Amino acid sequence: MPALTLDPEQTAARTWFESLRDLICAEFEAIEREAGSDAAFAYTPWDRTDAAGVPNGGGGVRGVMKGRVFEKVGVNVSTVGGAFEGEFGRTIHGAADDPRFFATGISLVAHMANPHVPAVHMNTRFLVTTRRWFGGGADLNPPLPIAEDTDDFHATLKAACDAHDAGHYPRFKQWADEYFYIPHRQVHRGVGGIFFDHLEGDFAANFAFTQDVGRAFLDVFPRIVRRRMALPFTEAELAEQRRWRGRYAEFNLVYDRGTLFGLKTGGNIDAILMSLPPLAAWE
């Protein structure tokens, strides 16, 4: 990919996101092996292009696996820099008067073959404009909610939050509840999780928290998958999964800020839209 000059903080963040990608993908492939599948991630590098379509300012790697348990899972990492174009920069924290930016992060969406296994989203990132901050979160999206899984997911994220600040979990849970909402349907996208943004000031403390969010996800989601992946399901439950996926797609295409950010900054289209489910239904 086109070279970027990174400072020590940018390098540390990029290295962590790439290492987290490797850990997550290895765990997901291990789950496929347990299910008797030889599915593995296929990795496709991409370069960021500028407004003229010329590679400029970093890029990333798109990882996709389609298996017996994971019907479609994408794990993307990117490290890009450049300048926001037009009025979009004025909507970004710290970029109103200077459009230059740097961003590095990991983004993951998993759509599962068994409707009893929840879909999931996780994203953490480090952005630099005239400010420096971390953002991200994780949220669980079950077509057929099971209280044990919801409680486990939230308890694990809460423990990660509480290790840093007792106020993090209630604040970031509420933020997720408000963000992952589909106004035109008047429903939430899933059963929530945490969402945070603009964590700035103390790089080391905020970086440590962001790392622990990634570790918490790696702890809890594979546990939930293994708990449910062998359950039998009916055609009616599969139909409900596809209807629910339709709403998931509506949110990501209409309201999701990450989708817009990727499209506005020369991101890879396939990587940006990997969040869309392989099969969905509208009735």
Give CA–CA dist 277/283, Å, rounded.
Answer: 16
164 and 208 Cβ atoms separated by less than 8 Å = yes
Q: Of the residues 111, 121, 154, 188, which is catalytic?
A: 121
Domain ranges of the chain: 8-275
- Written as tens digits, the pLDDT of the chain (283 aa) is 456 899 999 999 999 999 999 999 999 999 999 999 999 999 999 988 765 565 668 999 999 999 999 999 999 999 999 888 877 777 888 888 899 999 999 999 999 999 999 999 999 999 999 999 999 999 999 999 999 999 999 999 999 999 999 999 999 999 999 999 999 999 999 999 999 999 999 999 999 999 999 999 999 999 999 999 999 999 999 999 999 999 999 999 999 888 887 787 767 788 788 889 999 999 8
Neighbours of 231 (CB within 10 A): 13
Neighbours of 47 (CB within 10 A): 16
CA distances from 119 to 39, 71, 109, 113, 138 (A): 18, 10, 7, 9, 11
Q: Which two tokens stand for residue 41?
A: 């991630």
Question: How many CA within 13 A on the CB side of residue 162?
Answer: 6
* CATH superfamily placement of domain 8-275: Coproporphyrinogen III oxidase, aerobic (3.40.1500.10)
212 and 160 Cβ atoms separated by less than 8 Å = yes
68 and 35 Cβ atoms separated by less than 8 Å = yes
Quote the radius of gyration of the chain (alpha carbons, Å): 18
Is 116 a known active-site residue?
A: no
pTM, two decimals, is 0.92
CA distances from 110 to 123, 168, 183 (A): 12, 25, 23
198 and 175 Cβ atoms separated by less than 8 Å = no
